[in-house]
Amino acid sequence: MKKELSFALNYALNKGFQIHPDAFKILDEITDVKQLEKIIKEIVKEKTRQKKFQINQNDLETYLGIKDDPSLLNEIKILSDPTSKVTSGEGVKGYNALFSSRFNKLKRIVSDRPESKMIKAISVVKTTKLENDVYVCGLLTTRNAERNITKLVLEDPSGSFEGIIFDEELQKTAGTLLIDQFVMARVASAKNSGLMIKDLILPDIPDQKINKSESEVYAVFLSDLHIGSKYFMEDELIEFVTWISSPDPVARKVRFVLIGGDIVDGVGIYPNQNKELVCQTIEEQLQKAEDLLDKIPKNVKIIIMPGNHDPGRRALPQPAIPQKYNSGLWERENIEMVGNPALISLNGVKVLMFHGQSIDDIVKTTPGLSYDRPTDVMKNLLRARHLSPVYGSSTPIAPEVEDLLVIEDIPDIFHVGHVHKAQLDMYKGILLVNSGSWQKQTPFQASVGMVPNPGLAIIVNLKTFQVFHENYSSNSNNVLQS
């Protein structure tokens, strides 16, 4: 027997394991000493967890991927990706085109509603005495709450008008609207003059059927790794990535890993960032990312989308991380580089991936929303059918001729990150995943009282939509909110 083999076997025997002779034969054929050691250690760890103290042929075949079920599909289709579409019109003209595209796309979305037959242009509503209630739709340009009324200004391509809301409940609804978001309003002529808003309707998500994968495979949801930062939880992430190639029965069915932005910490993103970096260049950071992802088996498809820390354009929609910083990631067969946002089909399950930059603007201005419950913000985005409505606040938006941030297709899973708070929820049948982070609380986050729950791995069965999660951080109080 080879020296290395007897060493590896002793390791298992000392831990109280029996080794079946058939397992022996397979081990004897492994020539890479490092691999041999790693396999034995992994199997011992997994079987100890299962409290089964025999290593047999089946364990090794599973571990080595010989037993990986070839009937498990791992089909990816990129249904929508801004990378090749970003054009950026110039200045004011660009923004006019953007808002007109936003209006037209959302008007099409509400056209299925029964009220849409009663929609009138704003210019018409302003100049006619209304006998009955009518509907108008437009983008919200101004909101003013005064003593006991709220005034909204809505704009459509024909013009704009100011409507007054008297009803208290409706004023509350108006208070949650975001500037530049699309709304439909039921209006009537007010007693003296002017127009009164009697109802507000959002595009929202209709009842619909969710697509599921026929094959029982799992998808892993990650974001905000911040590789290169001092606070990146490298050991914890390596432990999780190693689990993906372990003999664990769930791990053996993982076929997709989705990374929703902030894969690296970047360079020059905030003042004096270099003091908090362990890798000082983008290239080094992305190389480290590539090395880490290399530990994932090649039958697992990996999707990488940029966030605000990653290189490339900052303004939304963001094209994929440019190839010039790391051609290795682009060249890998099992890696797809996509822009932000992107709509991806995983065995027919539609996943809308968005980093989540707009959450910052929304929690600042909307009563009842906070960083602690990012999935509530995600519900607001779905109701608005737009990923980043507010223009001119902290989230930069590029003057695209087409508004690529409108949620045209309804996803089955909505995957967001950015706020470093892992949370799960459901909305109208859509699974909402905020995938948290793999970065410990930074001094900046501590200074603003932001408490992340990093190191939580979220894994979804795409056939049943059952969700698993595992805490890899040393903080055992780290919980996944739902």
- Residue type present at position 200: L
The least distance separating ligand D5M from the CB of residue 341, rounded to whole angstroms, comes to 15
425 belongs to the binding site for Fe ion (CB under 5 A) = no
Site track for ligand D5M across 426-445, x = CB under 6 A: ------------------xx
418 belongs to the binding site for Zn ion (CB under 5 A) = yes
Query: Tokens representing 75?
Result: 């089909």
Residues 253-292 touching Fe ion, rule: CB under 5 A, are 262
Alpha carbon distance 347, 211 (integer Å): 9
Stretch that binds Zn ion, among 53-61, 62-70, 260-268, 366-374 (CB under 5 A): 260-268
Q: Where are the beta strands (DSSP E) in 70-217?
A: 76-80, 134-146, 149-156, 159-165, 182-189, 195-201
3-class DSSP assignment, residue 221: strand
Task: Name which of 271, 266, 267 is nearest 224 in CA terms.
Answer: 266
Name the residue nearer to Zn ion (CB basis): 57 or 441.
Answer: 441
Alpha carbon distance 479, 456 (integer Å): 8
Stretch that binds Fe ion, among 14-22, 83-91, 221-229, 284-292 (CB under 5 A): 221-229
Phi-psi sector, 392: left (phi>0), alpha (psi -120 to 50), beta: left
Stretch that binds Fe ion, among 201-209, 222-230, 373-381, 384-392 (CB under 5 A): 222-230
Name the residue nearer to Zn ion (CB basis): 305 or 398.
Answer: 305
Name the residue nearer to Zn ion (CB basis): 97 or 282.
Answer: 282
Name the residue nearer to Zn ion (CB basis): 358 or 380.
Answer: 358
How is residue 385 annotated by DSSP?
A: T
The CA–CA distances, whole Å, from 454 to 13, 110, 121, 187, 221 equal 36, 39, 49, 47, 13
Name the residue nearer to Fe ion (CB basis): 100 or 473.
Answer: 473
When binding is defined by CB under 6 A, the residue of 262, 336, 361, 412 that contacts ligand D5M is 262
288 belongs to the binding site for ligand D5M (CB under 6 A) = no
Which strands sit side by side in the sheet containing 430-435, from one edge to the other? Answer: 76-80, 342-346, 349-354, 413-416, 430-435, 422-427
Q: Using only the alpha carbons of the chain, give its radius of gyration.
A: 26
Stretch that binds Zn ion, among 167-175, 236-244, 256-264, 311-319 (CB under 5 A): 256-264
Name the residue nearer to Fe ion (CB basis): 203 or 317.
Answer: 317
318 belongs to the binding site for Zn ion (CB under 5 A) = no
When binding is defined by CB under 5 A, the residue of 180, 262, 336, 425 that contacts Zn ion is 262
Task: Name which of 421, 357, 415 is nearest 390 in CA terms.
Answer: 357
423 belongs to the binding site for ligand D5M (CB under 6 A) = no
Name the residue nearer to Zn ion (CB basis): 301 or 418.
Answer: 418
Report what 57 binds from ligand D5M, Fe ion, Zn ion, none; CB cut-off 5-8 Å by kind. none
The least distance separating ligand D5M from the CB of residue 111, rounded to whole angstroms, comes to 35
Whether 87 and 401 have beta carbons less than 8 Å apart is answered as: yes
Tell me, by CB under 5 A, how many residues bind Zn ion: 4
Task: Name which of 413, 391, 410, 434 is nearest 203 in CA terms.
Answer: 410
Number of H helices, E strands in the chain: 13, 19
Name the residue nearer to Zn ion (CB basis): 307 or 341.
Answer: 307
Alpha carbon distance 345, 78 (integer Å): 6
Query: Tokens representing 226?
Result: 């911040």
The least distance separating ligand D5M from the CB of residue 454, rounded to whole angstroms, comes to 11
Stretch that binds ligand D5M, among 119-127, 152-160, 345-353, 413-421 (CB under 6 A): 413-421
When binding is defined by CB under 5 A, the residue of 81, 180, 224, 310 that contacts Fe ion is 224
When binding is defined by CB under 5 A, the residue of 62, 150, 229, 308 that contacts Zn ion is 308
Phi-psi sector, 308: left (phi>0), alpha (psi -120 to 50), beta: alpha
Residues 299-318 touching ligand D5M, rule: CB under 6 A, are 308-309
Q: What is the DSSP string of 47-83?
A: HHHHT--EE-HHHHHHHTTTT--TTS---EEEEE-GG
Please report, as ranges, the residues that interact with ligand D5M according to CB under 6 A.
224, 262, 270, 308-309, 360, 371, 418-420, 444-445, 450
Please report, as ranges, the residues that interact with Zn ion according to CB under 5 A.
262, 307-308, 418
Please report, as ranges, the residues that interact with Fe ion according to CB under 5 A.
224, 262
